[in-house]
């Protein structure tokens, strides 16, 4: 069977191989005194809070399960709009908010609405692998530009200006980023957006980790800068609803009918039960719980990053959000005589029973030197992981 060029352009997700090997080993060591500690997981270790669970059950009992508008329930769009006002002090009209099946569908809709065949989108290297595949699925091409620790692993306006060609359609950034947990400085984003606008391009900012920001200098939405910026967000991370598949997209008013038309055809609507449940995210008790968890993520970061650095896993830039540590392990590889972070991930898995993610999928520039640790795991697990890594390194 002939496979489409589009499908062939989607690279395998190599980290799944490591995750699979870790799960197999985990079963073997589950009943020993050293069960596997999973620091490779890219989702919160918390679940949806009680009010959200109750709202979902109630919606099912009430039979509130029919399709909704393709853009999502108006009540939910209004709650999200009110959240932008209360949390960020930014007015975002509910009419500009399109509720989607996770940030993944939001990214897909944005790419399908704005990218033509052969268009190029600039992104930092390293970045979240699926983002470049959303671009290629829309017959565009992701162009990865090396992003340095000095630039918080984000693009600079000078880089964007220098890389822009006739084929360039825009930029796609994630702030805070996966895998680095670092955000773009607001002034730099403003400058990038101005370069993009001079070329008549588009600025897309994936803000899925914005709710989990730990530093007021970076915790503002890109929507505060300009309503022409397209922001992608989700209930997956700050709201702890990964498997519920709910997110949203904020677009300029003129783009709403375009996105709506594509959403109607591709998805009909996002999950109705998840939408009813998500309404309860904005109750005071739920927000208080999310904030408590955000503080927990910060406390984990404050313990874990210095502990990693002390072992020689060097985190060049303190993450200001999300729950990741992007650590340069080249010194440790040389010390242990190991080729790169891919082999080191297996070594750590087998010797320390700690699952981590090698950098390979996130780009190509220096990613073989890096491991991504996730701190979406209990403080006890983080202490255990550090103790085992210390033992392993001797
Ligand atoms: C940067 C980034 N964007 C988008 C996504 C997709 O998230 P969702 O569960 O909302 O589809 C993820 C998931 O890990 C992510 O890390």
Residue 5: the pLDDT is 86
User: Which of 98, 135, 178 best tests ligand 1's pocket when mutated (most atoms within 8 Å of CB)?
Assistant: 178
Note the pTM of the prediction, 2 decimals: 0.96
30 has a pLDDT exceeding 90: yes
Residue 10: the pLDDT is 85
Q: How confident is the model at residue 330 (pLDDT cuts 50, 70, 90)?
A: very high
What span, in angstroms and rounded, lies between the C-alpha atoms of 288 and 280? 12
The mean pLDDT value of the chain amounts to: 96
Residue 242: the pLDDT is 96
Q: Show the ligand 1 pocket: residues with CB < 6 angstroms.
A: 42, 102-104, 128, 174, 178, 206, 208, 234, 236, 242, 247
Query: Which percentage of the chain shows pLDDT scores above 70?
Result: 100
Determine the average pLDDT of the residues in 190-216. 98
Determine the average pLDDT of the residues in 119-127. 98
Geometric angle at alpha carbon 394, from 377 and 42, rounded to 5°: 20
Residue 128 CA: nearest ligand 1 atom is 1
**String of DSSP letters for 270-336:** S-HHHHHHHHGGGSHHHHHHHHHHHHHHHHHHHHHHHHHHHHT-B-SS---BTTEEEEE-HHHHHHH
Interval 304-322: pLDDT, tens: 999 999 999 999 999 999 9
164 has a pLDDT exceeding 90: yes
Residue 43 CA: nearest ligand 1 atom is 14
Q: How confident is the model at residue 252 (pLDDT cuts 50, 70, 90)?
A: very high
> Could you give all domains of the chain from N- to C-terminal order, each with its CATH number?
5-47+286-393 (3.90.1150.10), 50-283 (3.40.640.10)
The CA 376 to ligand 1 mean position distance, Å, reads: 14
The CA distances from residue 133 to 9, 108, 140, in Å, are 8, 9, 9
């Amino acid at each position: 069977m002939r496979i489409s060029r589009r499908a062939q352009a989607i690279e395998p997700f190599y980290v799944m191989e490591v995750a699979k090997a870790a799960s197999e080993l985990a079963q073997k060591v589950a009943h020993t005194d050293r069960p596997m500690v999973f620091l490779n997981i890219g989702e919160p270790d918390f679940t949806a809070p009680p009010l959200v669970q109750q709202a979902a059950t109630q919606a099912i009992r009430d039979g509130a399960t029919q399709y909704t508008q393709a853009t999502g329930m108006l009540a939910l769009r209004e709650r999200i709009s009110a959240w932008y006002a209360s949390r960020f002090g930014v007015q975002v009209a509910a009419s500009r908010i399109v509720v989607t099946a996770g940030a993944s569908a939001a990214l897909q809709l944005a790419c399908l609405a704005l990218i033509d065949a052969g268009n190029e989108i600039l992104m930092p290297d390293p970045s979240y692998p699926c983002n470049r595949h959303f671009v290629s699925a829309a017959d565009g091409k992701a162009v990865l530009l090396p992003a340095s620790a000095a630039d918080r692993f984000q693009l600079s306006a000078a880089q964007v200006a220098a890389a822009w060609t006739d084929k360039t359609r825009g930029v796609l950034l994630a702030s805070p980023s996966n895998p680095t947990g670092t955000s773009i400085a607001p002034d730099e984003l403003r400058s990038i957006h101005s370069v993009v606008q001079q070329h008549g391009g588009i600025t897309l900012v994936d803000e899925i980790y914005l709710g989990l920001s730990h530093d007021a200098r970076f915790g503002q939405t890109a929507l505060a800068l300009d309503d022409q910026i397209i922001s992608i967000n989700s209930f997956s991370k700050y709201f702890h609803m990964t498997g519920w598949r709910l997110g949203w997209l904020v677009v300029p008013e003129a783009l709403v009918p375009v996105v709506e038309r594509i959403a109607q055809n591709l998805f009909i609507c996002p999950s109705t039960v998840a939408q009813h449940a998500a309404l309860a995210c904005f109750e005071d008790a739920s927000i208080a719980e999310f904030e408590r968890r955000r503080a927990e993520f910060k406390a984990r970061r404050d313990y874990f990053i210095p502990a990693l650095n002390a072992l020689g896993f060097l985190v060049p830039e303190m993450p200001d959000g999300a729950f990741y540590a992007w650590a340069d392990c080249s010194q440790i590889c040389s010390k242990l005589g190991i080729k790169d972070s891919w082999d080191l991930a297996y070594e750590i898995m087998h010797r320390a029973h700690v699952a981590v993610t090698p950098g390979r999928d996130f780009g190509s520039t220096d990613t073989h030197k890096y491991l991504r640790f996730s701190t979406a795991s209990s403080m006890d697990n983080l202490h255990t992981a550090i103790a085992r890594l210390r033992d392993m390194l001797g």
